[in-house]
């Protein structure tokens, strides 16, 4: 642990909410009459933070794709708790709540409602994200990464410094492997390859996360289907598989047609036009203006800078001002 972190204890940080203006925030402690930083009201009450994840509980989700939600959902996917499809659908639902003027739910609540996660799995994963960092596994990951070559050691050291500074300020700090991926120093595939090698050797953040979420609750994810598949009759098992696939197809059809397929805004690299198109799982998509397959998902930062991103599920800073609080583009933002 860095000397910078000695004497700093964030374990007592609490999540709070103002009953007058609704502002959620964190504080080192709570006492009766503490003032809201927004409206200065004294009607402030403590909130329950699932898994002790205070920063996650008070995260600003009003602009969509909150970093805390993205990080949680990524680990749920990497642990095999949710599928890429359920990951995408959860964020689509959350952004639809924002577009409808509703208070967006934390991403774990949406995944639980969709049946992709159990409540216990979500809480245990939030506990994993709340573990103190930097830790030993961060150091081991760096050693393994530098041994592979192909990464700038100086940029890795800069990322370590960023993680240490974050640990002095925030309650939840991402594992260094995730931070390196967010800063585009390694790809998701490179990161997972190293994490799985470490897991096979009995250590690493992926193993820690899997150990924390493992348990009887995992057996509840698809109870009916699993009971059917455990039957010894091969014909019954075959029928169950076909029925499960048919049901999945019906659910996907309902979400994409009956429930209304969501839309998104993209910007073309060729003609620079911003357009509204149907949601796509892959990019680039066809530009409605010039018909070139060169349109990418766009976000807008607090300084009104509109920029393209290659992957809508990874937090990317604004290339002009560096802000990490960009949100999806809305109709009123289109120039």
The rounded mean pLDDT for the chain is 79
For 207-244, the three-class secondary structure string (H helix, E strand, C coil) is HHHHHHHCCHHHHHCCHHHHHHHCCCCHHHHHHHHHHH
If you average pLDDT over residues 92-113, what whole number do you get? Answer: 91
Same domain for 116 and 214: yes
Any domain includes 52: no
Same domain for 286 and 252: no
Residue 230 to residue 225: CA distance in whole angstroms: 9
Are 156 and 185 in contact by the 8 Å Cβ rule? The answer is: yes
Any domain includes 53: no
The pLDDT tens digits of the residues spanning 148-176 come to 887 899 999 999 999 998 888 888 899 99
Same domain for 277 and 209: no
Residue 126 to residue 118: CA distance in whole angstroms: 12
Quickly state the pLDDT bin for 217 (edges 50, 70, 90).
Answer: very low
Any domain includes 212: yes
Any domain includes 19: yes
Q: For 101-134, b where at least 16 C-beta lie within 10 A, e where not — what string? A: eeebbbbbbbbbeeebbbeebbbbbbbbbbbebb
Task: Assign residue 30 the CATH number of its domain.
Answer: 2.20.28
Same domain for 65 and 211: yes
Quickly state the pLDDT bin for 13 (edges 50, 70, 90).
Answer: low
Residue 78 to residue 129: CA distance in whole angstroms: 13
- Which pLDDT value is given to residue 249? 45
Same domain for 212 and 232: no
Any domain includes 54: no
The pLDDT tens digits of the residues spanning 226-268 come to 333 333 445 545 544 444 444 444 444 444 444 444 678 899 9
Same domain for 193 and 115: yes
Same domain for 120 and 7: no
Peptide bond into 284 cis (omega under 30): yes
If you average pLDDT over residues 214-224, what whole number do you get? Answer: 46
> Which among 256, 281, 314 is the end of a domain?
256
Same domain for 318 and 179: no
Domain of 325 in residue numbering reads as: 263-333
Any domain includes 6: yes
The residue behind tokens 């009916």 is: 224
Taken as a whole, the chain contains a residue count of 335
The pLDDT tens digits of the residues spanning 31-61 come to 677 777 777 777 777 766 788 888 898 888 8
Domain total for the chain?
4
> Which among 234, 256, 278 is the end of a domain?
256
Among 262, 263, 261, 264, CA closest to 329: 264
Any domain includes 18: yes
- Which pLDDT value is given to residue 180? 95
Q: What SS3 class is residue 104?
A: coil
Residue 208 to residue 243: CA distance in whole angstroms: 35
215 vs 101, higher pLDDT: 101
**Cβ-based neighbours of 271, under 8 Å, separated by 6 or more:** 287, 289, 290, 292
Tell the burial category of 216 from Cβ atoms under 10 Å away from its Cβ (0-12, 13-18, 19+): exposed
> Which among 241, 256, 271 is the end of a domain?
256
Same domain for 93 and 173: yes
Same domain for 167 and 131: yes
- Which pLDDT value is given to residue 216? 47
Any domain includes 100: yes
Displacement of CA 328 from its chain's centroid (Å): 15
Displacement of CA 191 from its chain's centroid (Å): 16
Evaluated on CA atoms 223, 229, 232, 238, the torsion sign reads: positive
Residue 107 to residue 69: CA distance in whole angstroms: 6
CA distances from 165 to 4, 26, 129, 162, 174 (A): 8, 18, 17, 5, 12
Same domain for 21 and 165: no
Same domain for 167 and 85: yes
Model-wide pTM > 0.75: no
């Amino acid at each position: 642990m860095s000397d910078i972190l000695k004497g700093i204890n964030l374990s007592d940080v609490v999540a709070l909410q103002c009953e007058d203006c609704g502002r959620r925030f964190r504080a080192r402690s709570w006492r009766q009459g503490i003032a809201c930083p927004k409206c200065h009201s004294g009607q402030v009450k403590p909130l329950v933070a699932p898994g002790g994840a205070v920063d996650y509980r008070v995260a600003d989700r009003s602009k969509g794709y909150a970093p805390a939600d993205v990080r949680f959902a990524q680990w749920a996917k990497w642990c095999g708790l949710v599928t890429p499809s359920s990951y995408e659908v959860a964020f689509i639902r959350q952004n639809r709540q924002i577009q409808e003027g509703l208070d967006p739910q934390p991403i774990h609540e949406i995944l639980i409602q969709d049946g992709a996660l159990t409540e216990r799995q979500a809480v245990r994963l939030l506990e994993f994200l709340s573990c103190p960092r930097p830790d030993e596994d961060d150091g081991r990951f760096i050693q393994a990464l530098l041994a592979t070559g192909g990464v700038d050691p100086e940029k890795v050291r800069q990322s370590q410094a960023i993680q240490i500074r974050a640990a002095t300020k925030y309650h939840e700090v991402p594992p260094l492997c995730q931070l390196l991926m967010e800063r585009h120093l390694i790809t998701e595939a490179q990161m997972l390859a190293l994490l799985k090698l470490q897991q096979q050797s009995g250590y690493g953040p992926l193993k820690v996360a899997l150990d924390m979420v493992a348990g009887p609750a995992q057996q509840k994810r698809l109870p009916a289907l699993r009971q059917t598949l455990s039957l010894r009759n091969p014909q019954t098992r075959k029928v169950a598989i076909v029925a499960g696939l048919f049901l999945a197809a019906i659910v996907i059809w309902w979400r994409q047609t009956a429930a209304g397929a969501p839309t998104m805004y993209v910007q073309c690299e060729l003609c620079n036009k911003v357009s509204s198109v149907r949601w796509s799982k892959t990019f680039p998509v066809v530009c409605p203006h010039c018909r070139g397959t060169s349109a990418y998902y766009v976000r807008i930062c607090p300084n009104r800078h509109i920029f393209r991103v290659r992957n809508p599920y990874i937090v990317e800073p604004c290339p002009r001002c560096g802000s990490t609080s960009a949100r999806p583009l809305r109709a009123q933002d289109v120039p």
